[in-house]
Amino acid sequence: MKRQLRAAAVAATVLLPLAVSAQSTTMSLTDVAHTLGYHYAYLGPDEAVALSRPGIVVIVRPGAPLFDMNDREIPVTGAVPVYKDGEVYVSSGMVATLRRLAGPNATVGRDAISGVQPSVSGPHRTPAILSLSAMHIEGDQALHVEGQATPFAAITLTLTAKVSRSIPDVVVSRLHVEADKAGAFTGRVAIAPVYFTGSLYTVVAATDANMSRSVTTVVSEFPNGHSKVPSEETKRGNH
């Protein structure tokens, strides 16, 4: 009996530190986000971190037992996230959860697991809009919007219209786009149903959590205002 108790005590002495070590293993959320293909943005006012991929936004808060996923609250797996030296660290269980949410093609590299800084082509930056322009698409009731942002940034294009001094601005449409690896993004933004010629359109490009935004304006024109239509030219000649 004493031998069994002694053996149990030895096993507990050996295994307990290993269990505690496994639970306390933490990884830099910046490194994990980069490795799994999430866009990383620090939300200063909320003291939180936003991780985004197409179709998914995850909000992680240091010290919180829950995290948000597309406005749903989900329990954190393992130890709660910890803020230290300007970085947020999460448990290996939380990394596994983020990998599962990212999809089957996302894998955590050995560099992130070991805590070694992975090699990247440039400094990590919060998604930002660098430039924005918009113009009418000839023959269409839509605007062509293009701009430059940080690579792979998720961007929302919002179009509003000012049709009269006596009518509040109208939100016409929204479009979600993503910058390519060079940071370029484009989109076709429909102006329906606001077809009033002479209206002032405002296009706002904003990154996730509205961390960065840029604005441009366009005055509405006829869909084919720069084209000569023979039937209309004939009518003018008859007059």
Identify the pLDDT of residue 230.
73
When pLDDT is cut at 50, 70 and 90, the band that residue 20 belongs to is very low
The pLDDT-based confidence of 177 (bands split at 50, 70, 90) is very high
CA distance 219 to 134: 10
pLDDT of residue 39: 82
Predicted confidence at residue 203, as pLDDT, reads 92
The per-residue pLDDT for range 42-82, each reduced to its tens digit, is: 765 556 788 888 778 888 889 999 998 877 888 998 899 99
The pLDDT value given to residue 227: 66
Lowest-pLDDT range, 21-25, 38-42, 205-209, 235-239? Answer: 21-25
Lowest mean pLDDT of 67-71, 112-116, 121-125, 178-182, name the range.
112-116
Please tell me the predicted confidence (pLDDT) of residue 14: 37
Q: Give per-residue pLDDT as tens, 195-225.
A: 677 788 899 998 876 667 889 888 877 776 6
Which is more confidently placed, 203 or 106? 203
Beta bridge partners of 72: 69
Task: Give pLDDT, residue 236.
Answer: 55
Looking at residues 135-151, what average pLDDT do you find?
87
Distance between CA 75 and CA 207 in Å, rounded?
27
Contact between residue 228 and residue 236 where contact means Cβ atoms under 8 Å apart: no
pLDDT range class, residue 101, cuts 50, 70, 90: confident
Residue 190's pLDDT band (boundaries 50, 70, 90)? confident
- Can you give the chain as a three-state secondary structure string? CHHHHHHHHHHHHHHHHHHHHHHHCEEEHHHHHHHHCCEEEEEHHHCEEEEEECCEEEEECCCCCEEEECCEEEECCCCCCEEECCEEEEEHHHHHHHHHHHCCCCCCCHHHHHCCCCCCCCCCCCCCEEEEEEEECCCCCEEEEEEEECCCCEEEEEEEEECCCCCCCEEEEEEEEECCCCCEEEEEEECCCCCCCCCEEEEEEEEHHHCCEEEEEEECCCCCCCCCCHHHHHHHHHC
Res 105 pLDDT > 70? no
Determine phi and psi for 71, rounding to 5 degrees.
70, 10
* Domains in the chain: ranges and CATH: 2-114 (3.30.457.10), 129-219 (2.60.40.10)
Of 134-138, 207-211, 233-237, which gets the smallest average pLDDT?
233-237
Mean of pLDDT values over 175-182? 88
Checking if the pLDDT of 6 tops 50, the result is no
- Report how far residue 104's alpha carbon sits from residue 190's, in angstroms, rounded to the nearest whole number: 35
What proportion of the chain, given as a percentage, has pLDDT over 90?
13
